[in-house]
Amino acid sequence: MTKTHKYTLPHLIGKSFEQYPDLPSLGFAGEYALSYSELKEKVEATMAFLERHGIKHGDKVALLGPNMPKWGISYLAITFMGAVVVPILPDFHPEEIKNILAHSDAKILFVSRSMESRIEGLNTLSLENIIYLEDFSSKGKTSSVLFEEGAKPGIRYQIEEDDLAAIIYTSGTTGKSKGVMLTHKNITFNALSAWKIQPLSKRDRMLSVLPLSHTYENTLGFILPLMHGTSVYYLRKPPTPPVLLPALKKVKPTAMLSVPLIMEKIYRNKILPEFQRNRFMKFIYRIPVFRKGLNRLAGNKLKKTFGGHMEFFGIGGAKLDRNVEKFLKEARFPYAIGYGLTESAPLLAGVNAKTTRLQSTGPAVHGVELKIHDPDPVTGEGEIWARGPNIMAGYYKDPEATKATITEDGWLKTGDLGAFDEDNFLFIKGREKNLIIGASGENIYPEEIESIINNFRHVVESLVIEKKGKLVALVHFNREELEQKYSDLKEDVSNRIETIQNELVPELHRYINSKVNKFSQLQKIIIQANPFQKTATQKIKRFMYHIYHKDET
């Protein structure tokens, strides 16, 4: 990557405005998409609108809403004028939203009317106005200011690479959210590094289903495509099958980003049952040559389901189940794996669909250094550290946390444990905070045990914790699946399901302990009645369950 690039959002996305004026940029699936020239006009009019609301270079502007073109327009307008965008995850609790607005010193909040209930009773000292994303109407100190189509900003802004572009509050699995400060260079450098793994161009189409307020979708599914003339489409409703499947047929995406849970659900609920519907199918699916053939057929069907043009299906945010990845590989589905953190804008390691290696996230991305700090002399495992132009400027208003996370010579302590193979492909073992130390000092990775549990029939998800020196698994069964299976029972189905779940527990217990080493044996299984609470990338908020079960007998 040469120094001729100016790593700022207005410079790099501004090039697309000039190079691809008539091509579609942002739109809803199956509907009209704004051209790049129209997107430019909308962004400039929104900048002029924000100027009249008194927003200046360095001011904080929050953004809360579902994926939609006006979310993107607002994001670009804020960052193009040197203000700082504060994207808020839609699934944050109202109290979290209020805390973020207060902590970030946001002067204006862009919000969709569908999420207005999340900010009822809002009262922060810094917030001056609320602007509705649907029509840019506003209420507050300068509510008389109206949005004007075709308006131009009155100032010619000079944005520098080290200017702050965004403060992103993480939805961590281990506790309180922190405001990650990302500069223009952090974001754009990372987008360009990702392009070297999987180039996007004006011929590509993306369907965006993950929250734009999450760094993963934001950098790789929004900034990256807009820098290269790619068109991006959104859904008007949450991505349930009745909404997603027609959208895939209409958009026929060439690229898409996802989290492991989505593909794991497809595999366990749709694909695997077909291979286990009778004894004969179960038998031949165990034979490698037949399994590969069946997986190939299922893969062709899966490609058609995703529109028939998919070239890159990125999976990140958490570790992909080994069995599911093995299926995707044998099915020749164009999946790819990446690894990163909000603090690294986000991508640290990754591969494209042609270079995947089972259970690896791939090597470090271009321009980023990765190393294992203080590796175990036998296994080579240790904490992953990262350094590069994509590493955050720090945590907003939290110098102590910044100092604890970034070393004096610029290394980011990721908190993840991993190891490299001989080709420098990275393998993630788990979170350092999740690591359980066995009675004789053995390293126990709960994520590896959970992967085994989740492949047991009727299990949706699980969580392994340490409780008074013993390993305990919290397991959530697929109640809907069980109800369908036993719907012909004359007795009360609900009561019967409780009994069936309890009957499955001893069998599950034996199954797990037959597949793990001696020091990873489970002592107890507890049925988790409700789905686990999760982050935006569908990772379980582990800290909540560690706290809840900590002192139980």
The DSSP-derived string for 22-78 is TSEEEEETTS-EEEHHHHHHHHHHHHHHHHHTT--TT-EEEEE--S-HHHHHHHHHH
Confidence check: pLDDT of 428 > 60: yes
Cis status, amide bond into 346, omega within 30 of 0:
yes
Mean per-residue pLDDT over the chain, rounded: 91
CATH topology of domain 435-549: GMP Synthetase; Chain A, domain 3 (3.30.300)
Q: What is the pLDDT of residue 553?
A: 36
C-alpha of 266 from chain center? 18
Q: What are the residues facing 349 on neighbouring strands?
A: 339, 364
Phi, psi torsion values for 426, nearest 5 degrees? -90, 135
| Amino acid (1-letter code) at residue 281 | M
pLDDT grade for 549, boundaries at 50, 70 and 90 = low
Contacts (Cβ under 8 Å, ≥6 apart) of 7 = 161, 184, 185, 188, 189, 192, 389
Confidence check: pLDDT of 552 > 70: no
Span 255-308+310-387+402-431: which CATH code?
Answer: 3.40.50.12780
Distance, CA of 78 to CA of 61 (rounded, Å): 7
Question: Could you state, in order of their start, the residue ranges of all structural domains in the chain?
Answer: 9-195, 255-308+310-387+402-431, 435-549
Question: How many of the other CB atoms lie within 10 Å of CB of 424?
Answer: 11
Q: What is the pLDDT of residue 448?
A: 86
Q: Average pLDDT in the 394-398 region?
A: 96
- Can 9-195 and 435-549 be said to share one CATH topology? no
Q: What is the pLDDT of residue 501?
A: 87
Q: What is the pLDDT of residue 480?
A: 81
For 139, the token pair is 């209420």
What's this model's pTM, rounded to 2 decimal places? 0.85
For 287, the token pair is 């034979």
Distance, CA of 67 to CA of 536 (rounded, Å): 13
pLDDT in tens, 163-212: 999 999 986 544 567 999 999 999 999 999 999 999 999 999 999 999 99
* Angle value at C-alpha 506, between 501 and 511, nearest 5 degrees: 110
pLDDT in tens, 332-390: 999 999 999 999 999 999 999 999 999 999 999 999 999 999 999 999 999 999 999 99
* Of the options 3.20.20.70, 2.60.120.10, 3.40.50.12780, 3.30.750.210, the CATH number for the domain spanning 9-195: 3.40.50.12780
Q: What is the pLDDT of residue 68?
A: 98
Which of the residue ranges 82-91, 140-149, 296-305 would you say has the lowest mean pLDDT? 140-149
- 106-111, strands of its sheet edge to edge: 138-140, 129-132, 106-111, 60-64, 84-88, 164-169, 179-183, 394-395
Q: What is the pLDDT of residue 347?
A: 98
Confidence check: pLDDT of 121 > 80: no
Distance, CA of 195 to CA of 12 (rounded, Å): 13
Phi, psi torsion values for 154, nearest 5 degrees? -85, -10
